[in-house]
Chain A
Amino acid sequence: MLILSRKPGESIVIDGRIVVKIVRLEGDMVKVGIEAAKEVPIHRQEVYDEIQRNNQEALTASRPPLSHFLTKATARPPSKPAPVFVAR
């Protein structure tokens, strides 16, 4: 990993198109500003990691039939019968 020393107000340019600026220090926090094209996704790593892990878990390999418990999630008031899924 490349490690550079920067002072608040100084920046780093990546690939000529992404600018990372150290905005200020607040105790043990560093405020970082990032300038990049809107096509460049930028995420906090822990958030990115947990969402991509959840996506991996959610992916199904064979669109399983929606079993009855899903109907409970959207059950309408008791006056109307809950929708029943029709088998494929």
Chain B
Amino acid sequence: MTTAELTEPKTPKTRQSAGREIIQLPLGLLGFENVKQYVLLTNPAEEPFMWFQMMDDTRRAFLVAPPARLVPDYQPDISDDDAAFLGITDPSDAVVLNIITLRGDDRPTVNLKGPVVFNRRTRVGKQVIPNNATQYSLRHPLAAS
């Protein structure tokens, strides 16, 4: 049993339970350039997965996850221009999220070529194409077996 299961019903005033954080994407996501505000919805029961939901359309969301537990050796090389755009001066400022495609009954995949990176201090983000993107798959199989 996880900590969340033990504490959640007794401590309804959040923090360790579901969370929401507003992320600004001044340039939107590729193909969704006009949608600039998202809410990152977290739920301990779904960890490490989170929903990256359009602020103005609560039905529309992307499933995302930090790569650490999905693809442990993933090391996107963020360009200097992107780091400057995001105001990232130290790697610890950067939060990396990868977009997951569920594909119905097929095996889900994760996009390693175009991660969403945001600055944890300013909560401004961008979908970046890392310098080393060619070595990563756009449709990396999620379930390692």
Q: Which residues of B come within 8 Å of A, CB atoms?
A: 2, 5, 26-27, 29-32, 45-49, 51, 53, 59-63, 69-70, 81, 84-85, 99-103, 107-108, 111, 113-114, 127, 129, 133, 138-139, 142-145
A47-B133, A54-B138 given; name 6 further pairs at CB < 8 Å: A41-B27, A48-B30, A58-B111, A60-B102, A70-B49, A74-B48
A86 to chain B: which residues have CB within 8 Å?
Answer: 5, 45
A66 in contact (CB, < 8 A): yes
**Known interface pairs A51-B114, A55-B99, A60-B62; A73-B30 also in contact (CB < 8 Å):** no
A74: min CB distance to chain B, Å = 5
Residue of A nearest to B53 (CB): A63
Contact between B32 and A60, CB atoms less than 8 A apart: no
Contact between B31 and A52, CB atoms less than 8 A apart: yes
Q: Between A and B, how many residue pairs show CB distances below 8 Å? A: 97
Name 23 interchain pairs, CB-CB below 8 A, sorted by A.
A38-B85, A39-B85, A48-B30, A50-B113, A51-B113, A52-B29, A55-B30, A55-B31, A55-B127, A57-B101, A57-B103, A58-B63, A58-B99, A59-B61, A59-B62, A60-B60, A61-B60, A62-B59, A63-B53, A63-B59, A63-B61, A70-B108, A73-B108
